[in-house]
Amino acid sequence: MEIRVEGLTKHYVAEGRTVKALDRVDLTIPANRIFTLLGPSGCGKTTLLRCIVGLETPDDGEIRIGDEVVWSRARGIAVPTEKRGLGMVFQTYAIWPHMSVFDNVAYPLQVRGVERATIGKKVAAALHFVQLDGLDRRSATRLSGGQQQRVALARALVAEPKVILFDEPLSNLDAKLREETRKELKRFLGELDITAVYVTHDRVEALALSDSIAVMRAGSIVEIGSPQKIYFHADHRFVADFIGRANLIPVTVRGSSGEFTVVDSALGRFACAPRDLAPGSAATLCLRPEFLHLHEGAAIPDHNGVTGRIESLAFVGEVYEAEIRVADLLLLARTGPDTQLREGDTVSFTVTPEHCLLVSA
Ligand code: ATP
């Protein structure tokens, strides 16, 4: 089911100060996809999710789930949460420790007054789906963190919602389990015809899990796109910076040369992936560390070649991260684990124009 949000506004008043948590948000969340709201702490992700769920009352705007308007100030509509046909999974697993796995998962059906035999079948199907067969009589607390999160997912799915909402569901798991559970979740959701709205501030989680990502800042949506679009072809400096490690260099646009946009910067001249920018205008050059190809010695004078000195070299597992000093700038580059480079070495790097991304100033 598609979700449409129009002109959604929400303020909070706390300690005499007014905070604009949502600032006239317009958004269409496509049906049967995993759609992620990503952004720094306090940007309004949870508020937007809670407005969709009906746990928060907006000040203005409209929310539609499928064909139904579930909230509208102008039309005086406010459908209660339990009538919106949603499933929810939150950061704290929110499973009840004193209850068995079965009773936890059965709860949404029991409150709807579903008959016992049907509850039994639906709970068994939900537990089978999340691969917890045979654990139905176990106390919910005698499960691992990952299993508890799967119980929460089974409970959210048991009433067969058309939309499921997740608020940072993996943030209480350790790094390895988080990665495993994320993969499982993607597989589970891929097997269902369900619209998933996922809130996180973890960019790797957003990239790995989502079909589409909306990046938020200060109550507004800055940019929406596929993980690849957001990572490789962002339009905004804020988005390019938030979604991954980035060297961001102020530039002035000179014009175009063949298929490339040419810019000048403190690092010299760069031929960049084409962008429709007026000569003389200011922009930002985004160079991802993985695309800086390091060589020993000075660069051959050319577009897109820069010479500097390795100020630090840190082994971080699969790669070395090198900080390269070029005049006032310190640039981050990655180089393979078999590198012969050392701190203090003079190095040069080149970046192909396709990997020179121009974003807003
Ligand atoms: P996080 O990633 O930290 O959960 P978020 O992006 O989900 O952040 P929200 O929780 O939606 O952000 O909060 C948006 C803004 O509204 C923040 O400035 C927050 O302090 C404020 N806010 C949220 N809930 C309340 C509340 N109940 N009372 C007052 N202010 C609130």
Angstrom distance (rounded) from CA 39 to CA 159: 30
Contact 213, 38 (CB under 8 A): yes
Render pLDDT for 92-144 as a digit per residue (tens, 0 to 9): 657 787 889 999 999 989 988 899 999 999 999 889 888 888 888 888 888 88
Angstrom distance (rounded) from CA 37 to CA 53: 14
- CA 122 to centroid of chain Cα atoms: 32
Give the number of C-alpha atoms closer than 13 A to the C-alpha of residue 315, restricted to the C-beta side: 7
**Residue in 119, 151, 117 with CA at minimum distance from that of residue 135:** 151
The answer to whether the CB of 45 is under 6 A from ligand 1 is yes
Contact 126, 192 (CB under 8 A): no
Angstrom distance (rounded) from CA 210 to CA 226: 8
Structural domains in the chain, sorted by start? 3-240 (3.40.50.300), 246-359 (2.40.50.140)
Of 6-10, 88-92, 158-162, least confident by mean pLDDT is 88-92
Distance from the alpha carbon of residue 142 to the mean position of ligand 1, in angstroms: 33
- Residue 344 pLDDT > 80: yes
Give residue 70's pLDDT.
Answer: 97
Instruction: Band the pLDDT of 43: cuts 50, 70, 90.
Output: very high
Indicate the top mutation candidate among 11, 13, 47, 221 to test ligand 1's pocket, ranked by most ligand atoms within 8 A of CB: 47
In three-state form (DSSP H/G/I as H, E/B as E, the rest C), the secondary structure along 31-88 is CCCEEEEECCCCCCHHHHHHHHHCCCCCCEEEEEECCEEEEECCCCEECCHHHCCEEE
Average of per-residue pLDDT across 178-186: 85
3-state secondary structure of 305: strand
What is the side-by-side strand order in the sheet with 260-265?
268-272, 260-265, 247-257, 282-287, 357-359
Give residue 34's pLDDT.
Answer: 96
Closest residue CA from atom 3 of ligand 1 = 41
The answer to whether the CB of 217 is under 6 A from ligand 1 is no
Instruction: Band the pLDDT of 300: cuts 50, 70, 90.
Output: low
Query: Which run of H or of E encompasses 184?
Result: helix 175-190
pLDDT mean across residues, the chain: 91
- Residue 302 pLDDT > 70: no
Which two structure tokens, joined as six digits, stand for 128?
């089978």
Distance from the alpha carbon of residue 220 to the mean position of ligand 1, in angstroms: 13
Average of per-residue pLDDT across 256-276: 92
Sign of the CA dihedral with 327 first, then 330, 335, and 339 last: positive
Amino acid at site 109:
L
Instruction: Band the pLDDT of 301: cuts 50, 70, 90.
Output: low
Decide which of 67 and 176 is more confident.
67
Closest residue CA from atom 30 of ligand 1 = 12
> Residue 139 gets which letter from DSSP?
B
Which of the listed ranges 35-39, 139-143, 185-189 does the model predict with the highest average pLDDT?
A: 35-39
- The predicted model scores a pTM of 0.90
The answer to whether the CB of 201 is under 6 A from ligand 1 is yes
